[in-house]
């Protein structure tokens, strides 16, 4: 080990000791996924990974980023040139070195908190006993079985994972012992509901508050699940106790296994929450499951029977390796393929014989057990079960035991079908054997994510482990025509693994691709690594362009693995590109720091998009994804799309004309809580934090920004005139000027109360505390007293509403102090006031020594309207011009304000900087509000996750998604038919995997539709509407191209439509009207089209075309539906890679 490596190893020892601390700033996204308790367990886990090829490196990367206690990298093999195709921490100068030692230093740098060492020791029991988790990578099966048997025999058992990547196939297996506990099998938020009623019955029926318009308000419970109750009034016996759900009656009612007839009568309130009970998983050994694997985890149902075949192939290849000194078949070696087929056939014949014998034995057992069960009848046995509880219990226990035995037999009978292969698919076996010597980057990334997550499960007991085998292949990515064996031969190159599978010609094609990667965060880092290793952009004509306008934050380091501590605050795209080029010096990548948006279309222009081979999105927001997707449709480019959410990931491949585009199908937007709930009737901590964040924005961002505009303009009147000129309404102007009508704020607060010192900021914060924690509540319960009735005579304060209690000011309270500290420091920042080096309770107390809070009487406010209707829409304040004048008159003269301050400093919300006090303010205010409503408060981390809308993210799911997309990239490079592509979804939490053919693009055809012209006033009146699709059919990928040349006129454009019997009503360009049928339209027909659009709407025709928006009707006044893109070609400078044909191949005259 080098001195640097040894130093890094010593520095990383913190997790391995007895005291474990989780760095919340660094690990915030993982904490959002696993929780603190699970991560504490993980940080004590010692992991051994034996086999440091590309797959081993991927596993090590993901496990180290997950923050385990220690990782030992074990290998006795030396680096070969082919390893560089999948192993991102090996270089050409490492060839001949030990693989574990060669990559140790780089892996240590990933996470200094994890002790990472290399070893070449024999894998004997004494060594294995040092670990809690052992991972065997491509280990010969006999050796893997030996290690597994020792791990099972250990007390407690050592979790064992086996995996292997062999060409376009791979496998993973888990065995965590005979009785492994899973404390949280799904990781999803616990199901919960607000109680509306509980019956006095046996079983008791629970009715929950249910909003039929909100699918999230369902209780979503299932029979057999366990629930806990809290805050129930009246029937208090339920509180703090757990009960089993007996029956789900409907989405808002269920019964529980308890007799409540003797309980108190339900009065009000109550929360019911799922109690997740531990599950104990019985794992079988590797040796046993090699012979009888049982039911496989299947991801691609289009490959029925493939897992069983790959299970056979894995063993046949192992037999081949045993006979050939550990070597896999050479690429394209027909004789080796024959040998693998022969071995598989022999294994399968023996397996069929065993299955037939087992089937006969199980059938006999099934019949015997069934007969025994039938005989267990009380009358037949002469048992008095009515009069003898002991006899009844004994008979029930005996039946239960026999039923369990019978179920086990029938389960095994069902599983046997998964294992049976009546006829071996020799062609598939030969394809697998031919490429089996290669460890592909894509396969290593995919399996590395899967296996890395299995290690985390073993260390945390969170999420459902793999049960027990998973086989995966991407054989559909092979070239459609057989590859010449000579093309598969090694070249002594880092791309030899790719060559061994796909052939030299396709490898060169991939190397000369020009790809655009949008984003270089977690997904972007994975893609850059994969591109570099696979060779994308390394050829003479190849290039990868990556853009990202973001900089690196410390919280990124736990999953964006190309970054280190010294990269913090540097450009993501530049830093990631440099790291990727270090992995492959031939990698040509150009890093940009521009956001891809309408504002940068001068940079990402026609020539740019048209030059691309394809686009890969690595974005974390829907708006940006949709824009890139729209650009890909416009320019006819393929798109690789992927996303992650905690342990879930999904991928989508978009192929021009063959598949739907990303924006074609979207999830419905999240339903937001009503404004009255957020502002006055919160019942969850989320409601409180949303409100607190809104207050933060108003106090420290919006109000200072608007006040600065007033200062810059020199008068409030000028500010009002500017807003009116921009189209702002009276309500919007009043909101900005005075803030809340009752509680104030806005520009008035900023300019009428300019602080002269930090003490003034503390006094301002103290008054804000009084408003938020006391006065607002006092006014609310004055308007809506606790005994208030609704217009129907029912109680107003019923679930989900919670009756609040005003808080009493107490500086000794931690949350109160945190609020005052954060609020006063933020106020000082917005005014540029000097702040103390440290703010303590004594600092605050001293500033408030002479402060007296004004008295508050809610009755003195008169008739104040507080919205209580959840269906009321939020809107601007109501008012008149006179109200504006009144507010303006009350604002201090601007010259007087400028004598105190001329510059304000708005605070732009940033969740990941704990020194800016943003989250501290939001947490404190949100928790104070929660306290007033008797809602459970949350810690700083939880507040950050919720208020910052932080997406839970882990490296494992990211690696899987990027690995999947690399297989799709290879398919795109070949232009394979649509049935070769796969969209995928993987939930590593519950092991729900799915891969399916992409959806074809929707065809727009001519049709007749029934519409309701005026559903509000005439809901029963309907009309038939005829719609003509032009062209018929067409899809989103199609375009209408009208070629008129540079001298073409408006009349030439109209003539095109006229030739297709379409009457033009109007034509718009960039939203501006350039033609309307009638006298005004006749007057412009002779105008040169490019001059006319330039004059009317300032449109630039230098691109060689103008996109138009025609409104037409047919000969019988039918509505015309065009493709998204209708353009007029005006010069040979036209550079779009679009044609004037539909995806159906029918020409559209141009």
> By the 8 A CB rule, do 66 and 954 touch?
yes
Asked if the model's pLDDT at residue 1 lies above 50, the reply is no
Per-residue pLDDT averaged across 11-40, rounded?
76
DSSP letters spanning 1078-1145: THHHHTTTTSBHHHHHHHHH----TTSEEE-EEEEE-TTS-EEE--SEEEEE-STT------SB-TT-
**Distance separating alpha carbons of residues 897 and 891, to the nearest angstrom:** 10
pLDDT the model gives residue 589: 98
- Confidence band (pLDDT; 50, 70, 90) for 210? confident
**Cα diameter, the chain:** 106
H/E/C letters for each residue in 411-468? HHHHHHHHHCCCCCCHHHHHHHHHHCCCCCHHHHHHHHHHHHHHHHHHHHCECCCCCC
Task: Look up the pTM and report it.
Answer: 0.90
**Distance separating alpha carbons of residues 537 and 516, to the nearest angstrom:** 10
- C-alpha separations of 825 from 120, 516, 834, 839 in Å: 56, 44, 9, 9
**Residue (of 327, 526, 310, 307) closest to 438 by Cα position:** 327
- Confidence band (pLDDT; 50, 70, 90) for 367? confident
**Assigned token pair, 1008:** 């007749």
3-state helix vs strand vs coil in the chain, percent to 5: 45, 15, 40
**Residue (of 170, 235, 758) closest to 432 by Cα position:** 170
**Assigned token pair, 757:** 């010192």
**Distance separating alpha carbons of residues 1001 and 1143, to the nearest angstrom:** 9
CATH superfamily, domain 1007-1129, is Ubiquitin-activating enzyme E1, UFD domain (3.10.290.60)
Name the residue with tokens 């014949």.
Answer: 349
Among the residue ranges 516-530, 1048-1062, 1095-1109, the one predicted with the least confidence is 1095-1109
**Assigned token pair, 613:** 């081979």
- Confidence band (pLDDT; 50, 70, 90) for 1149? very low
- C-alpha separations of 132 from 37, 71, 72, 107, 127 in Å: 18, 11, 12, 20, 11
- C-alpha separations of 264 from 206, 238, 257, 259, 403 in Å: 15, 10, 17, 12, 39
Question: Contacts by 3-6 with C-beta closer than 8 Å and gap 24+?
Answer: 4/105, 5/104, 5/105, 5/108
Catalytic residue set: 676
DSSP letters spanning 55-115: HHHHHHHHHHHTT-SEEEEE--PBP-GGGGGT-TT--GGGTTSBHHHHHHHHHHHH-TTSE
Name the residue with tokens 């499960």.
Answer: 457
pLDDT the model gives residue 404: 83
- The pLDDT tens digits for 222-280 are 999 999 999 999 999 999 999 999 999 999 999 999 999 999 999 999 999 999 999 99
Among the residue ranges 111-115, 299-303, 382-386, 683-687, the one predicted with the least confidence is 382-386
Query: With b meaning 16 or more CB within 10 Å and e meaning fewer, what string describes 644-656?
Result: bebbbbbbbbbbb
Name the residue with tokens 């606790």.
Answer: 786
CB atoms within 10 A of CB 1000: 14
Q: What is the mean pLDDT of the chain?
A: 91
> By the 8 A CB rule, do 655 and 646 touch?
no
- Confidence band (pLDDT; 50, 70, 90) for 917? very high
> By the 8 A CB rule, do 47 and 130 touch?
no
**CATH number listed for the domain at residues 192-275:** 2.40.30.180
- Confidence band (pLDDT; 50, 70, 90) for 383? low
Hey, which residues does 1105 pair with through a beta bridge?
Answer: 1129
Name the residue with tokens 């005291």.
Answer: 19
- Confidence band (pLDDT; 50, 70, 90) for 1016? confident
Does CATH place domain 675-947 in 1.10.10.2660? yes
> Phi, psi (5° rounding) for residue 1067?
-135, 130
Asked if the model's pLDDT at residue 3 lies above 50, the reply is no
CA–chain centroid gap for 547, Å, is 21
CATH superfamily, domain 3-181+439-471, is NAD(P)-binding Rossmann-like Domain (3.40.50.720)
User: Which residues are CB-neighbours of 759 under 8 A, at least 6 positions away?
Assistant: 846, 847
The end-to-end CA distance of the chain, in Å, is 70
pLDDT the model gives residue 406: 78
- The pLDDT tens digits for 795-842 are 999 989 999 999 999 999 999 999 999 999 999 999 999 999 999 999
Name the residue with tokens 């603190």.
Answer: 36
User: Which residues are CB-neighbours of 670 under 8 A, at least 6 positions away?
Assistant: none
pLDDT the model gives residue 932: 98
Q: Three-state DSSP class for 519? A: coil
Among the residue ranges 124-138, 272-286, 408-422, the one predicted with the least confidence is 408-422
**Distance separating alpha carbons of residues 384 and 1111, to the nearest angstrom:** 86
Gyration radius of the chain over CA positions = 34
Name the residue with tokens 């928006």.
Answer: 1109
- Confidence band (pLDDT; 50, 70, 90) for 927? very high
- The pLDDT tens digits for 450-464 are 999 999 999 999 999
- The CATH class for the domain spanning 512-646+951-975 reads alpha beta
**Distance separating alpha carbons of residues 66 and 955, to the nearest angstrom:** 8
**Assigned token pair, 1093:** 């659009």
**Distance separating alpha carbons of residues 724 and 493, to the nearest angstrom:** 68
């Amino acid at each position: 080990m080098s001195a640097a490596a040894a130093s890094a190893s010593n520095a990383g020892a913190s997790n391995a000791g007895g005291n474990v601390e989780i760095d919340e700033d660094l690990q915030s996204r993982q904490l959002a996924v696993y929780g603190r308790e699970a991560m504490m367990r993980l940080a004590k886990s010692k992991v051994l990974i034996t086999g440091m090829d590309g797959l081993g490196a991927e596993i090590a990367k993901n496990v180290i980023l997950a923050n385990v206690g220690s990782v030992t990298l074990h290998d006795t093999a030396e680096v070969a040139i082919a390893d560089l195709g999948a192993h991102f921490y090996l270089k050409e100068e490492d060839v001949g070195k030990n693989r574990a030692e060669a990559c140790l230093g780089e892996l240590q740098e990933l996470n200094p908190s994890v002790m990472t060492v290399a070893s070449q020791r024999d894998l004997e029991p004494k060594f294995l006993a040092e670990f809690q988790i052992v991972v065997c990578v491509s280990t010969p099966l006999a050796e893997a079985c030996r290690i597994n048997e020792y791990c099972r025999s250990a007390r407690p058992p050592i979790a064992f994972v086996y995996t292997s990547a062999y060409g376009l196939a791979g496998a993973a297996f888990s065995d965590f012992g005979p009785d492994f506990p899973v404390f949280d099998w799904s990781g999803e938020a616990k199901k919960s509901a607000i109680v509306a009623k509980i019956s006095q019955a046996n079983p008791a029926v629970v009715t929950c508050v249910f909003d039929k318009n909100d699918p999230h308000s369902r209780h979503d419970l299932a029979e057999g699940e366990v629930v806990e109750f809290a805050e129930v009034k009246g029937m208090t016996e339920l509180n703090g106790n757990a009960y089993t759900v007996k029956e789900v009656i409907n989405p808002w009612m269920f019964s529980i296994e308890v007799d409540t007839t003797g309980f108190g009568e339900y009065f009000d309130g109550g929360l019911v929450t799922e109690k997740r009970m531990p599950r104990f998983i019985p794992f079988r050994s590797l040796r046993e499951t090699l012979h009888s694997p049982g039911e496989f985890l299947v991801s691609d149902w289009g490959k029925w029977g493939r897992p069983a075949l790959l299970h056979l192939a894995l063993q046949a290849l192992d037999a081949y390796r045993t006979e050939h000194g550990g070597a896999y078949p050479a690429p394209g070696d027909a004789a080796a393929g024959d040998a693998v087929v022969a071995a598989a056939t022999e294994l399968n014949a023996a397996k069929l014989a065993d299955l037939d014998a087992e089937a006969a034995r199980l059938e006999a057992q099934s019949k015997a057990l069934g007969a025994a069960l039938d005989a267990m009848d009380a009358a037949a046995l002469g048992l008095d079960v009515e009069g003898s509880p002991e006899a009844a219990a004994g008979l029930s226990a005996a039946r239960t035991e026999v039923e369990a035995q019978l179920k086990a037999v029938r389960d095994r009978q069902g599983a046997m079908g998964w294992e049976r292969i009546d006829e071996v698919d020799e062609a598939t076996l030969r394809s697998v054997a031919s490429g089996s010597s290669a460890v592909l980057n894509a396969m290593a990334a995919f399996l590395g994510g899967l296996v890395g997550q299995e290690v985390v499960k073993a260390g945390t007991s969170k999420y459902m482990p793999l049960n027990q085998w998973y086989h995966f292949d991407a054989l559909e990515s092979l070239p459609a025509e057989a590859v010449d064996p000579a093309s598969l031969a090694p070249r002594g190159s880092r791309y030899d693994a790719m060559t061994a599978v796909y052939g030299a010609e396709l490898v060169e094609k991939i190397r000369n691709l020009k790809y655009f990667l949008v984003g270089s965060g977690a997904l972007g880092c994975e893609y850059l690594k994969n591109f570099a290793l696979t060779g994308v952009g390394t050829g003479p004509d190849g290039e990868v362009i990556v853009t990202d306008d973001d900089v690196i934050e410390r919280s990124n380091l736990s999953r964006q693995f190309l970054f280190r501590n010294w990269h913090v605050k540097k450009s993501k795209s530049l830093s990631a590109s440099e790291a990727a080029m270090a992995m492959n010096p031939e990698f040509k990548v150009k890093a940009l720091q521009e956001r891809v948006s309408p504002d940068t279309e001068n940079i990402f222009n026609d020539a740019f998009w048209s030059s691309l081979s394809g686009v890969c999105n690595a974005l974390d927001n829907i708006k940006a994804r949709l824009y890139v997707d729209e650009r890909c449709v416009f320019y006819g480019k393929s798109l690789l799309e992927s996303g992650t959410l905690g342990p879930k990931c999904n991928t989508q491949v978009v192929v021009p004309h063959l598949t739907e585009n990303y924006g074609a199908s979207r999830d419905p937007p999240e339903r937001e809580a009503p404004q009255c709930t957020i502002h006055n009737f919160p019942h969850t901590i989320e409601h409180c934090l949303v409100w607190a964040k809104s207050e933060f924005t108003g106090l420290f961002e919006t109000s200072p920004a608007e006040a600065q505009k007033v200062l810059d303009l020199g008068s409030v009147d000028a500010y009002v005139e500017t807003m009116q000129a921009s189209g702002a309404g009276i309500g919007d102007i009043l909101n900005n000027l005075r803030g809340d009508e009752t509680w104030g704020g806005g520009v008035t607060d900023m300019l009428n109360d300019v602080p002269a010192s930090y003490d003034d900021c503390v006094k301002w914060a103290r008054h804000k505390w009084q408003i938020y924690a006391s006065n607002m509540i006092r006014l609310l319960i004055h308007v809506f007293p606790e005994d208030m009735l609704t217009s129907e005579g029912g109680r107003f304060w019923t679930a989900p509403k919670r009756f609040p209690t005003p808080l009493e000011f107490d500086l000794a309270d931690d949350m109160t102090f945190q609020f005052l500290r954060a609020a006063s420091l933020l106020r000082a920042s917005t005014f540029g006031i000097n702040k103390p080096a440290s703010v303590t309770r004594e600092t605050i107390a001293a500033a408030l020594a002479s402060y007296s809070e004004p008295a508050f009487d809610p009755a003195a406010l008169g008739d104040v309207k507080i919205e209580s209707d959840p269906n009321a829409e939020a809107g601007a304040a109501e008012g008149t011009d006179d109200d504006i004048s009144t507010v303006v008159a009350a604002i201090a003269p601007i010259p007087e304000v400028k004598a105190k301050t001329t510059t304000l400093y708005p605070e732009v919300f940033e969740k990941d900087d704990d020194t800016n006090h943003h989250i501290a303010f939001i947490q404190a205010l949100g928790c104070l509000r929660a306290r007033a409503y008797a809602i459970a408060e949350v810690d700083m981390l939880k507040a950050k996750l919720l208020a910052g809308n932080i997406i839970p993210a882990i490296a494992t799911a990211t690696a899987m998604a990027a690995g999947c997309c690399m297989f799709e990239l290879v398919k795109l490079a070949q232009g394979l038919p649509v049935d070769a592509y796969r969209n995928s979804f993987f939930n590593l939490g519950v092991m729900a995997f799915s891969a399916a053919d992409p959806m074809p693009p929707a065809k727009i055809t001519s049709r007749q539709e029934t519409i309701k012209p005026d559903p509000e006033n005439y809901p029963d009146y309907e009309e038939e509407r005829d719609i003509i699709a032009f062209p018929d059919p067409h899809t989103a990928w199609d375009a209408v191209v009208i070629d008129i040349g540079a001298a073409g006129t408006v009349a030439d454009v109209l003539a095109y439509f006229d030739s297709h019997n379409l009457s033009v009503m109007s034509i718009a360009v960039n939203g501006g009207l350039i033609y309307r049928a009638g006298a005004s339209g006749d007057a412009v027909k002779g105008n040169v089209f490019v001059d006319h659009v330039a004059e009317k709407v300032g449109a630039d025709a230098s691109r060689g075309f103008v996109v138009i928006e025609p409104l037409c009707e047919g000969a019988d006044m039918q509505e015309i539906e065009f493709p998204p893109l209708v353009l007029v070609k005006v010069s040979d400078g036209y550079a779009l890679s679009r044609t004037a044909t539909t995806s159906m191949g029918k020409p559209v005259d141009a």
